[in-house]
Amino acid sequence: MGSEDEAKLSLTEIEDPASLSFEEAFHLLDEAVRRLEAGELALEEALKVYELGARLAQRCDELLAAAELRVRQLDEAGQPARELTIAP
Tell me the pTM: 0.74
pLDDT at 72: 87
Residue 4: its pLDDT value, please?
A: 42
Residues of the chain whose pLDDT is less than 70?
1-9, 79-88
What b/e readout covers 50-77, taking b as 16+ CB neighbours within 10 angstroms?
A: eebbebbbebbebbeeeeeeeeeeeeee
41-53 pLDDT per residue, tens: 999 999 999 999 9
Q: What is the pLDDT of residue 2?
A: 44
Amino acid identity of residue 66, one-letter, is: A
Q: Residue 7 has what pLDDT? A: 43
